[in-house]
Amino acid sequence: MTTNALPAKPWAVTSRTIVFGAVGAALYGALGVLSFIIPGTANVALRPALAIIPFVGIRFGPIAGFFTGLVGNAIVDQIQGFGFLTYWNWSLANGLIGLIVGLLAHYTREPAKDSRRVVWVAVISIVAVVVGLLFTVTDTFLGSTLGAWFTTAYLPAIAGTALVSVLLVPVLDKAWQPLANRAGR
Amino acid sequence: MEAPRYLAGDSFLGRRDPRVLILVPALTVVTVALIQDLRLMTVAAVVALGYYALARIPFRAVRANWAFVGVFVLLLAGINGVIAGAQEYGGAATELFSIPVLDVPVSTASVSYTITMLLRFLAIAATGFPLAFAVRPGDLAVAFARFGVPSRFAYGIDLTFRFIPTVSASLRETTAAQRLRGYEVSKTRNPIRRLEQIRPLVVPVTVSAFVDAEDVADALDLRGFGAQRRTWLRTLRFGTSDFVAIGLFLIAAIAATTATVSHRMPGLWLW
């Protein structure tokens, strides 16, 4: 039995929503040190920490997922020196990934079989990444053209984030399940 | 990159209400997003750098951050600017030369467009740095609460900053523990293999952080978190200098918006 880990109401904000969202954001910031540039590309970085956002969205709800993506990305920018408002739209896009994946997890049926659940987690994560990162089209407000945004920002970002989501989110989810069950969540 | 740093000391910006340091970059983003003319953008960038200087952040301490921002801005704004500028303004000005291999024509218009983009990101970064290094991390939650963000979420921001050192320490411990078990990172250019190599670190750190979070959530519940209106120990008050600083940037943002709406904003500067 695993569905008990999901919050009963997707929009409910409890102390758990805030704490898990904050832990997710801190993990996103701290695990940023494990990022690396994909060889052969100019500036396409793979952030393994991105897997935290869909994981939090799926297991702790859309609000916690949104908080993790928004605040986590903003804190990484803050620590790197940009200030959290410079790439506000990317922070919001990351927040949307957490929100969308949380809603998808809540409103779609979670398979009981382990193998199918792995596929379910990966698929809803990718859908959320593809839809959520569309918000970065707001880069065009700062002078980027639609074509340049699509080829140099959106496509590399969804490729990297989707790869991380497929490889890490199901593993995180599988590792979390026994502990969630033991805690009665 | 482990935790936020406060580097502004007792400088002018270090003494400001944190809301000033949040509002100024937000207003700067609005202003510079609307400016297209290189000469006006130069003025905006100079003002932004003047603002940055008021934080008196030691350059030595942020050299690596500026290098990172510089490379990022050069790649993002520079390369995109040349390509997008050539696409958008290709026929609008005299062609200077063509970039070999890419066959992208570089004209005076695309040069103007690229420098404008570079200065735009420079201005945003210059006002963003004080937000990153001149606000005490503990003040951000109070500032957001004063902006009207629900106190639970404002507290969540505070909590995030508190968790970062703990999670970083956990990552160091896990790395050491895994090494004792024979964990090694072999050099590979394959991104999938690299992600798989990181897995033994990411999974235990993440799972243990969420297990520990259960205790924090229980502690908050036991103390009646969210049951009543929250007050903050730190009080924030706007002073005259705060109003003046915000006023100046607000006037610039209103002027840029009005000029754009009334079609009086100068377009790309061509010479």
The proportion of chain A whose per-residue pLDDT surpasses 70, expressed as a percent, equals 90
d(CA A111, CA A114): 8
Closest chain B C-alpha to A7 CA, distance in angstroms: 15
Low-confidence ranges of chain B (pLDDT < 50): none
Count of domains for chain A = 1
Please, are residues A75 and A49 in contact by the beta-carbon 8 Å criterion? no
Identify all chain A residues contacting B191, using CB atoms and an 8 Å cutoff. Answer: 36, 38-39, 46, 163
Residues forming a β-bridge with B107 = B95
Identify all chain A residues contacting B205, using CB atoms and an 8 Å cutoff. Answer: 27, 30-31
Identify all chain B residues contacting A67, using CB atoms and an 8 Å cutoff. Answer: 153, 156
Report the predicted TM-score, pTM, of the whole model to 2 decimal places. Answer: 0.87
Candidates A38, A86, A88, A138: best to mutate against B (most CBs of B within 10 A) is: A86
pLDDT digits (tens, 9 = 90+) for B157-169: 999 988 999 999 9
CATH number, domain with residue A34: 1.10.1760.20
Instruction: Determine which of A58-72, A135-149, B172-186, B198-212 has the lowest per-residue pLDDT on average.
Output: A135-149
Instruction: Determine which of A15-24, A127-136, A149-158 has the lowest per-residue pLDDT on average.
Output: A149-158
Task: Decide if pLDDT at A47 tops 50.
Answer: yes
Closest chain B C-alpha to A131 CA, distance in angstroms: 23
d(CA B12, CA B72): 28
Give kind and range of the element (H or E) at residue B259.
Answer: helix B240-261
Strand spans (E) along B61-126? 95-99, 104-107
* Segments forming the whole domain that contains residue A122: 3-182
Record: contact B225-A15, CB cut-off 8 A: yes
Task: Decide if pLDDT at A2 tops 50.
Answer: no
pLDDT at position B229 is 82
Record: contact B192-A83, CB cut-off 8 A: no
d(CA B128, CA A74): 12
A88 at interface of B, judged by CB pairs closer than 8 A: yes
Q: What is the mean pLDDT of chain A?
A: 87
A12 at interface of B, judged by CB pairs closer than 8 A: no
